Amino acid sequence: MISHRKVCVAFRTIYLSCYMKVFKFGGASIANAGRMKALLPIIHDERQPLLVVLSALGKTTNALEAIVGKAVGGDATGAVVLANALEEQHINYARQLLDDEHFEQAKKSLAELFVEFEQAVGNVDPSRYDYSYDQIVCMGELFSSRLFFFLLAEHGINCEWTDARKVIRTDATYRDATVDWNYTKLEAQAIIGRQLKQRSVVVTQGFIGSAGNGSSVTLGREGSDYTAAILAAMLGMESVTIWKDVDGFRNADPKLFPDTVRIEALSYSEVIEMAFYGAQIIHPKTIKPLHNHSIPLYVKCFLDRSLAGSVIREHVTDTHYPPLIVLKDNQLLVQVTTRDFSFITEDNLSTLYAVFHTLKIKINLIQNAAISFIACIDNRADKVQLLKQALGKEYKVSVNENVQLLTIRHFTPEIVFELTKGKQRLLSQETRKTVQAVLK
């Protein structure tokens, strides 16, 4: 017989999860102390309990990457100087953010994290770049989330801080780790689920997790969206809201293109296509866990909560989309040609795909001809050098640098002409709904 108490506890758990939400705040929303303070009304006015996922403070990840570069390059002194400067920036941020009492508490808490940070900088292994990268770069979200926790505490919000690395377990693929879903679900429910029953708000970090050996990992650049989706799925949340500095999902990046338009609603499938092609509105892996659990994702503007924003869900009544445009800079066009003029057939393709897979190089566009294989990839100098070494014996490898990859979904001939005029098309592909072009 199942006891009445167990039934009540189970019902309460289901009831709570149905009304819990995940809010994800990106770096722009906490770029300075004034921005972070301005988020308080969003937290106060929301039905709680609430799980908050934070990115690093604006530009912090770039600063951490610079520290990695110095350390891996052998400039230990330069790395320490940059690390000290970043620590001081966070202390100054805390001083502007908090009253005296909570500033002292935050300063002590940050000092504990700084010890881990300094050890990571001092223990860099140049032969293990990706590993070293993750031990350092993961610190940005830990810093910012501690600051946000103390801000909430200062304003009387019943909150708790959780280290996401104790919840999200992954493999050891540093910089692009794969989640252990079974383990992570158990930990999410045991740790965060319990906290949400006791607190109004739980604060954690996006982008980071830990491998089975206890080392820190990251989930891929801009991976905080993905973290929000992972936890929402595992905790059965009502919805996820990503707070950005735009008024919703627009048909192109307004920083790159004039006269963009907001799209009120998009389907999961449409967004995952755009994310795959490189749209920066959301991390590419975010949609799958949400789709699997029918959890809608809202994109709202933290600068003006009254704006309608956008929603991403399974069913959308109006599927007549305007042209959706993605432009990726800093691309490389890699051409691999057989040295003996043998055809690029299944055997060669299998070898080539295996090399790209082993090196964890994502192919953004691919095409093969009789004796050549062409791929457009992100410009990662370390990866490209390894690729040339892996293929150089059997193939001739040539690279076009500083190219752009333009993708247009729901294109028209007019928009293709407008966006490619005056540029050299090195490669183009067209399907019924999508056109892509590599431009120089």
Q: Do 42 and 181 reside in the same domain of the chain?
A: yes
Domain assignment present for 199: yes
pLDDT band with cut points at 50, 70 and 90 for residue 316: confident
Say what the pLDDT of residue 17 is. Answer: 52
Distance CA 166, CA 164 (A): 5
What gap in Å lies between CA 274 and CA 256, rounded to an integer? 16
Is 233 in contact with 293 (CB distance < 8 Å)?
A: yes
Does residue 355 fall inside a structural domain? yes
Contact 332, 305 (CB under 8 A): no
Q: Are 35 and 42 in contact (CB under 8 A)?
A: no
Considering only residues 351 and 164, tell me which one the structure prediction assigns the higher pLDDT.
Answer: 164
Distance CA 246, CA 325 (A): 16
Count CA atoms within 13 Å of residue 440 on its CB side. Answer: 10
pLDDT at 380: 87
Q: Give the number of domains in the chain.
A: 2
Distance CA 384, CA 335 (A): 12
Query: What tokens appear for 42 in the block?
Result: 């969003």
Q: Note whether 71 and 188 are same-domain residues.
A: yes
Q: For residues 56 and 143, is the Cβ–Cβ distance under 8 A?
A: yes
Q: If pLDDT is split at 50, 70 and 90, which confidence band does 69 have?
A: very high
Same-domain status, 36 and 169: yes
Residue 271: inside a domain, yes or no? no
Q: Comparing 159 with 222, which gets the higher pLDDT?
A: 159
Write down the pLDDT at residue 212. 93
Q: What is the residue range of 105's domain?
A: 16-244
Taking the C-alpha atoms of residue 235 and residue 245, their distance in angstroms, rounded to an integer, is 27
Model confidence band, residue 322 (pLDDT cutoffs 50, 70, 90): very high
**What secondary structure letter does DSSP report for 190?**
I
The residue out of 195, 213, 244 marking a domain boundary is: 244
Checking phi first, is residue 422 left (phi over 0); if not, alpha (psi -120 to 50) or beta? left
How does residue 9 score in pLDDT terms, banded at 50, 70 and 90? Answer: very low
Answer whether the bond into residue 296 is a cis peptide, omega within 30°: no
Domain assignment present for 51: yes
The CATH code of the domain that includes 58 is: 3.40.1160.10
Mean pLDDT over residues 9-23, rounded? 61
Considering the domain architecture, whether residues 36 and 144 belong to the same structural domain is answered as yes
CA angle 82–86–87, rounded 5-degree value: 120
Residues 133-186 have pLDDT tens digits of: 999 999 999 999 999 999 999 999 999 999 999 999 999 999 999 999 999 999
380 within 8 A of 315, measured Cβ to Cβ: no
The alpha carbon dihedral of 380, 382, 385, 389 has a sign of negative
Count of CB atoms situated within 10 Å of the CB of 178: 13
> What is the DSSP-derived secondary structure letter of residue 28?
G
What pLDDT shows up at residue 11?
41
Name 203's Cβ contacts closer than 8 Å, sequence gap at least 6. Answer: 52, 54, 145, 148, 149, 152, 159, 160, 161, 162
| Separate counts of helices (H) and strands (E) for the chain | 16, 17
- pLDDT of 27 reads 95
Q: For residue range 378-422, what is the model confidence (pLDDT) as tens digits?
A: 998 888 899 999 998 889 999 999 999 999 999 999 999 999 999
Q: How far is CA 27 from the centre of its chain?
A: 11
Confidence at 13, pLDDT banded by 50, 70, 90? very low
Give, rounded to a whole angstrom, the gap between the first and last alpha carbons of the chain.
71
Percent of the chain with pLDDT over 90: 79
Q: State whether 217 and 363 are in the same domain.
A: no
Let me know: does 149 contact 159? Beta carbons within 8 Å: yes
Residue 299 domain flag: no
Band (293; pLDDT cuts 50, 70, 90): very high
Torsion sign over Cα 54, 59, 60, 66: positive
pLDDT of residue 18: 56
319 in any annotated domain: no
Band the pLDDT of 14: cuts 50, 70, 90.
Answer: very low
Position 404 in a domain: yes
**Residues of the chain above pLDDT 70, percent:** 95
**pLDDT tens for residues 53-65?**
999 999 999 999 9
**pLDDT greater than 90 at residue 3:** no
Same domain, 58 and 177: yes
pLDDT given at position 10: 43
pLDDT of residue 411: 96
As a three-state string, the secondary structure of 129-172 is: HHHHHHHHHCHHHHHHHHHHHHHHHHCCCCEEECCHHHCCEECC
Q: What pLDDT is recorded for position 329?
A: 94
Question: What pLDDT is stored for residue 339 in this prediction?
Answer: 87
Residue 219 has pLDDT above 70, yes or no: yes
- Considering the chain, what is the average pLDDT of its residues? 92
Q: State the Cα–Cα distance between residues 112 and 72, nearest whole angstrom.
A: 24
Q: Do 76 and 204 sit in the same domain of this protein?
A: yes
Among 227, 244, 261, give the residue marking a domain's end: 244
Look at residues 211, 244, 277 and tell me which one is the last residue of a structural domain: 244
How many Cβ atoms from other residues are within 10 Å of residue 24's Cβ? 26
Residues β-bridged to residue 327 = 406
Query: Which of 370, 375, 361, 362 lies closest to 426, judged by CA?
Result: 375
Distance CA 184, CA 165 (A): 10
Q: Is residue 368 part of a domain?
A: yes
Angle at alpha carbon of residue 352, lines to 348 and 358, rounded to 5°:
145
Quick one: pLDDT at residue 371? 87
Confidence of residue 274 (pLDDT cuts 50, 70, 90): confident
Confidence of residue 4 (pLDDT cuts 50, 70, 90): very low
pLDDT at 8 over 50: no
